[in-house]
Structures are given as C-alpha cells and as structure tokens.
Amino acid sequence: MPSDQLKLYESSASPNSRRARIFLAEKGISVMRVPVDLAAKEQFSEAYARINPRRVVPTLVLEDGTAIGEVPAIQRYLEAAYPATPLLGTSPKDEALVTMWDRRMELEGFAAVMETVRNNAAGLAGRAIAGTHDYAQIPALVTRGRQRIADFYDDLETRLAEAPFVAGNRFSVADITAIVTIDFATRALEMPIPASHAASARWYALVAARPSLAA
C-alpha cells in the first residue's frame, strides 16, 4: 500500500524506529524513510528539532506537515488511517487487552533494557535519558536494570506458556514490542532469552520468521 505522502524519520540503530518499521511492514504500508544519523548527532540539529523538538526518533510526518512523535502515537495514527490488518485489537475488549499487554512489554521490558543500556554505555555519558535534557549515568541502575530484564523474561515465559502470542491468540503490537525488546537486550547487553524458557523460544521462532521482522 503506497503512502508517498508520509515520511518516517528514523534510524537503523534505534530500537524504537524498528518498532515503527515492523508495524508499517505488517500493515503493508510503504512510506518515505528519511534516515537520521544518531552517531553524528543529527537528531540534535536545528533542522531536525523543527520536526521533533524532543530530538528523538522516530517521527512520522503527514502530508499536511503534522509531525507525530512517540511510537504508540505513530502506531495509533497508522491503525486508524489504514485499518486493514489490525494490530491494536479488533473489538473494545481486544483493544483493551492488546493495550494492556503492549504497555507491560514496554514498561517491564523495553524501558528496563533502555535504562540499563543508557546508564552503562560509555558513549552515552551525560545522556542517560533520551530527549533534550542531559542526565548523568547512575551505575546502580545498571545492576537493577539487569534484574528487571531477568524478571521480564520470567514473566514473559509465564504468559507465553498460556497463550500463543503475548496478547492472546493473534499477533499484535505487543509481540512487536516484546521481540524488539529481546533483540535489543541480546545485542546491547548480551541478555538473550534464557535457555530454560521453552515457551518463549517457541514464540520467538514463530515471530522472528515473519517477513516484517527484516524491516
């Protein structure tokens, strides 16, 4: 589904950008992708600040120039504008459950990995929280963050032992958040799914095989 009027400002190094790209791929929406070089700190340029004053990626820019930042907001817009292949639920109850599980994946998993990485990486000294303000790294948060990630894996294993997908019987945005979280933890912290977590391994193999994961 071509959507040449939409522009996605994103980075291949950004897990949040990947969440948006997978969502677009699942829905079959083709947009103009505009790379933002995070290593060169392009997100802090005045040109990009005019697009997203928070200076983070991704940002979806509509045909009329409206800029939408934050992954859940981008996903909500795309779901409403392109309702085919729903990823946020198919009924009021289903939508609520998908939102609940996606929120848990984001708070308990994705945020834990992000906190651990940003408080640990030497290249992010003084930039422990993404955005426009500078914050010092707190080493104790790295230790706590690794425990949070371990707990996330245990809780996810419990959930996937009782349901084929994170939010129930169908693939949804909650699965996107979960698998990006796991890949992020594996790559940046060398914390993959524990070998003993059979249900999670089954789910991961199923989801990772989807063509959208290459986005």
Provide the percentage of residues in the chain whose pLDDT is more than 90: 98
Q: Where do the domains of the chain lie, and which CATH numbers do they carry?
A: 2-81 (3.40.30.10), 92-214 (1.20.1050.10)
* pLDDT, mean over the chain: 96
Contact 141/185 with Cβ under 8 angstroms?
no
- The pLDDT value recorded for residue 108 is 98
- The pLDDT value recorded for residue 3 is 59
Section 121-150 average pLDDT? 96
Flag whether pLDDT at 47 surpasses 80: yes
The DSSP 8-state label assigned to residue 114 in this structure reads H
Tokens of 91: 């009924």
- In angstroms, the CA 29 to CA 6 distance is 10
Please give the biggest Cα pair distance in the chain: 50
Confidence of residue 1 (pLDDT cuts 50, 70, 90): low
Section 146-166 average pLDDT? 98
The partner residues of 32 in beta bridges, in order of sequence, read 7
- In angstroms, the CA 6 to CA 128 distance is 31
Section 53-81 average pLDDT? 97
- In angstroms, the CA 142 to CA 210 distance is 32
User: Cα–chain-centroid distance for residue 66?
Assistant: 22
Q: What angle do CA 130, 132, 133 make, to 5 degrees?
A: 85
Quick one: 97 exposed, middle or buried, by C-beta within 10 A (0-12, 13-18, 19+)? middle
Polymer length of the chain: 215
What secondary structure, in 3-state letters, does 155-166 show? HHHHHHCCCCEC
Section 84-112 average pLDDT? 98
> What's the predicted TM-score (pTM) here?
0.96
Give me Rg for the CA atoms of the chain: 17
The partner residues of 127 in beta bridges, in order of sequence, read 135
- The pLDDT value recorded for residue 188 is 97
- The pLDDT value recorded for residue 5 is 86
Section 124-135 average pLDDT? 95
